[in-house]
Amino acid sequence: MAEKALKIIPLGGLGEFGMNSMAIQYGDDIIVVDAGMMFPDSELLGVDVVVPDFAYLKENKDLVRAVILTHGHEDHIGAVPFLLSGINVPVYGTAFTLALVERRLDEHDLTRSVQLNPIQPGQKLEIGPFVIDFINVTHSIVSCVALAITIPLGVIIHTGDFKVDATPTDNQLFDLHAFAEYGKRGVLLLMSDSTNVDRPGFTLSERAVRPKLEEIFNRARRRVVVCCFSSSVHRLQQVVDVARDSGRKVAFLGRSMMDVTEIAHGLGLLQIPNGILLRAQDIMEADPAKVVAVVSGTQGEPMSAMSRVAVDNHKHLWIENGDTVVLSARIIPGNEKPIYRMINHIARRGADLVYGSTNPPVHVSGHASAEELNLILNLVRPRYFMPIHGEYRQLALHARMAQHLSDWGLEGTFIMDSGDCLLIDEQGARKSGKIPVGRLCIDSGSIDEVVEDLIIRDRRHLAEDGFVIPIITINRSTGRAEGVPEIVSRGFVSFDEGSPLLAEARAVVTRTLDNSSAEERSDAGLIQEKVRIDLKRFINKQTQRRPLIMPVILEL
């Protein structure tokens, strides 16, 4: 690389939701902003989580200086253990963010080997040629920061996830002044969250949820169950405050809910009045009119606390007629089926349900809408702009939004895909090549259990067409088949005894054996392949399906 050249390399999070990770390289130094995961879609059978392929960073690990985290959502920190398993560098983030990361590292036995360094908004950190200013921003999780990164070429601003909340529940205001100050001095590149760019106006403040919670808590005749994201500490605080004011006690259910509330309370980010907490095992014994249960599992995850509560499968809580259940979270696209299935189970138990669009709202977004995004663009007035965090349609819309800044010094807007390299030097900015990027599919959260594409392809094949196993016994000394071939199938058409298809399939296998020489029959690998090809051709012709065919040769 030229001495005064900057490379911006998105490793994930562009053109998709989740897996947010960005490599920023200046000369021979790299810092990594965030390392997130995403949940798999329905095609990735048996996969628990998906993380970026950090091969580029591991190939250049001698250049990587640090990992900088903007906030503690899983789509920004969930892949940290997978990155640090191959690169031992310090990690910087707010105390709350690092506490969440530490839980993940502990699951992978990496806690002792990783250096976690807490920072505070307003603090500046120097790492090689990078001077990083942490700017306080508001979002749906506490302790979020944007990054202003100064290098000899100029200032880069990475907003992280944000919304401009003028009345945050913790009174930690969005630092618009810092953005404006950098805008006055001049910003080389702005990278800004695009998630809600297609929503007009401003995103409502988190405080907008409180009137609806008060209405529900005061109207409910019996138990209130609130299901929300465990990371939404602002929302949890409001639930606790309204419960206190309405004379109810609060119980927390779900592993992630218990972990986050414990961390947030320990750091002074969640204020819980004395005497208000109720043990989970006491929920059903307490006066129903005096109880609020706060439960994790908003997206209908099969083994989440709320999914188990919905079908009376939780040992501490079940829904009874007249209870009120509040789903205080958005329905993430793609999760509609499990969520509505969970809601239907709850409705069958006679509960009053509150979810979706209500007035006042029971949930507000944590991402900036169009007017807030426009505000940041107008304050910063960058020389170059790169929209981040969103699908292509949102990145493109955000790029169009920025075009009015061409009269104020905007020289270029870049819509990037993961793996594209944005090169900035004294000659200007331009796309410059592409690095190999991809994703790793993880089966059970273990670093060692990366699922290869071939395995996923086989799983999809089995799910769609099933499998057929012809079992053939061959006498090793004579090379002759012993008895009639057996054929077993699962997930395919019935191969019951007496089935015409079974008889014809056996005949195909027998014919293949008869047409093979003794030498071929004595080569198990060769005869397996011949049987597989002939049976595959026959089954496809008869049924227009392509089951996985796995011949088994038993030698006597």
Q: Is the pTM of this model over 0.85?
A: no
How many domains are there within the chain?
Answer: 3
Could you give the angle at which helices 233-245 and 210-219 cross, rounded to 10 degrees?
A: 40
Residues 210, 145, single domain; the answer is no
Q: Is the peptide bond prior to 360 cis by the omega test (within 30 degrees of 0)?
A: yes
Tell me the C-alpha distance between 288 and 290, whole Å: 5
> 180-217 in b/e burial notation, b at 16+ Cβ within 10 A?
eebbeeebbbbbbbbbbbebeebbbbbebbbebbbebb
Q: What is the pLDDT of residue 527?
A: 82
Residues 36, 67, single domain; the answer is yes
- Tell me the three-class secondary structure of 342-353, residue by residue: HHHHHHHCCCEE
Q: What is the pLDDT of residue 495?
A: 66
Q: Which of 73, 234, 314, 367 is catalytic?
A: 367
Question: What kind and span of H or E run contains 379?
Answer: helix 370-380
SS3 233: helix
Q: Which of 34, 75, 175, 193 is catalytic?
A: 193
Cβ-based neighbour number of residue 514 at 10 Å: 10
Q: What is the pLDDT of residue 383?
A: 97
Among 450, 483, 504, the domain-final residue is 450
Q: Which residues contact 507 (CB under 8 A, 6 or more apart)?
A: none
Q: What is the pLDDT of residue 2?
A: 45
Give the max Cα distance, the chain: 90
DSSP secondary structure letters along 296-363 = --TT--TTSHHHHHHTT--SS----TT-EEEE-S---TT-HHHHHHHHHHHHHTT-EEE-SS-SS-S-
Tokens representing residue 453 in the block = 């594409």
Residues 91, 178, single domain; the answer is yes
**CATH number of the CATH domain containing 12:** 3.60.15.10
- φ, ψ for residue 437 (rounded to 5)? -130, 165
Could you give the angle at which helices 255-266 and 95-107 cross, rounded to 10 degrees?
A: 140
Residues 260, 298, single domain; the answer is yes
Burial class, 228, CB count within 10 angstroms (exposed 0-12 / middle 13-18 / buried 19+) = buried
**CATH number of the CATH domain containing 522:** 3.10.20.580
Q: What is the pLDDT of residue 463?
A: 65
> 9 and 32 in contact (C-beta within 8 Å)?
no
Contacts 24+ apart (CB under 8 A), 17-20: 17/75, 17/195, 17/389, 17/390, 17/391, 18/50, 18/75, 19/50, 19/51, 19/52, 19/75, 19/79, 19/418, 19/439, 20/75, 20/76, 20/388, 20/389
Q: Per-residue pLDDT tens for 209-224?
A: 999 999 999 999 999 9
Q: What is the pLDDT of residue 449?
A: 56
Residues 373, 350, single domain; the answer is no
Residues 16, 162, single domain; the answer is yes
Does 119 reside within a domain? yes
Residues 236, 312, single domain; the answer is yes
β pairing state of 91-93 and 116-118? parallel
| Residue 193 appears among annotated catalytic residues | yes
**CATH number of the CATH domain containing 265:** 3.40.50.10710
Residues 439, 475, single domain; the answer is no
Placement of tokens 């012809």 in the chain: 470
Does 286 reside within a domain? yes
Does 1 reside within a domain? no
| Residue 389 appears among annotated catalytic residues | no
Among 450, 475, 497, the domain-final residue is 450
Residues 48, 190, single domain; the answer is yes
Tell me the C-alpha distance between 183 and 382, whole Å: 7
- φ, ψ for residue 161 (rounded to 5)? -85, 140
Domain housing 343: 206-354
Could you give the angle at which helices 255-266 and 233-245 cross, rounded to 10 degrees?
A: 80
Tell me the C-alpha distance between 397 and 369, whole Å: 12
Does 459 reside within a domain? no
Residues 164, 239, single domain; the answer is no
| Cα end-to-end distance, the chain, whole Å | 65
Residues 302, 338, single domain; the answer is yes
Tell me the C-alpha distance between 550 and 470, whole Å: 7
Does 458 reside within a domain? no
Among 327, 354, 381, the domain-final residue is 354
SS3 16: strand
Q: What is the pLDDT of residue 51?
A: 85
Q: Which residues contact 248 (CB under 8 A, 6 or more apart)?
A: 217, 224, 290, 291, 292
Tell me the C-alpha distance between 474 and 367, whole Å: 66
Does 460 reside within a domain? no
Does 172 reside within a domain? yes
Tell me the C-alpha distance between 389 and 384, whole Å: 17
Residues 510, 430, single domain; the answer is no
Q: Which residues contact 232 (CB under 8 A, 6 or more apart)?
A: 140, 141, 329
Q: Per-residue pLDDT tens for 226-241?
A: 999 999 999 999 999 9
Tokens representing residue 424 in the block = 């900035």
Residue 455 CA to its chain's centroid (Å): 21
Does 404 reside within a domain? yes
Tens digit of pLDDT at every position of the chain (556 positions): 445 799 999 999 898 888 999 999 999 999 999 999 977 665 554 556 788 889 999 999 999 999 999 999 999 999 999 999 889 999 999 999 999 999 999 988 888 889 999 999 999 999 999 999 999 999 999 999 999 999 999 999 999 999 999 999 999 999 999 999 999 999 999 999 999 999 999 999 999 999 999 999 999 999 999 999 999 999 999 999 999 999 999 999 999 999 999 999 999 999 999 999 999 999 999 999 999 999 999 988 878 999 999 999 999 999 999 999 999 998 877 788 889 999 999 999 999 999 988 989 999 999 999 999 999 999 999 999 999 998 999 999 999 999 999 989 999 999 999 999 999 999 999 999 898 887 777 665 444 455 555 565 666 666 667 778 888 888 777 767 777 888 887 777 766 666 788 888 888 888 888 888 877 777 777 888 888 888 888 888 888 877 888 888 887 6
> 101 and 119 in contact (C-beta within 8 Å)?
no
Question: What kind and span of H or E run contains 262?
Answer: helix 255-266
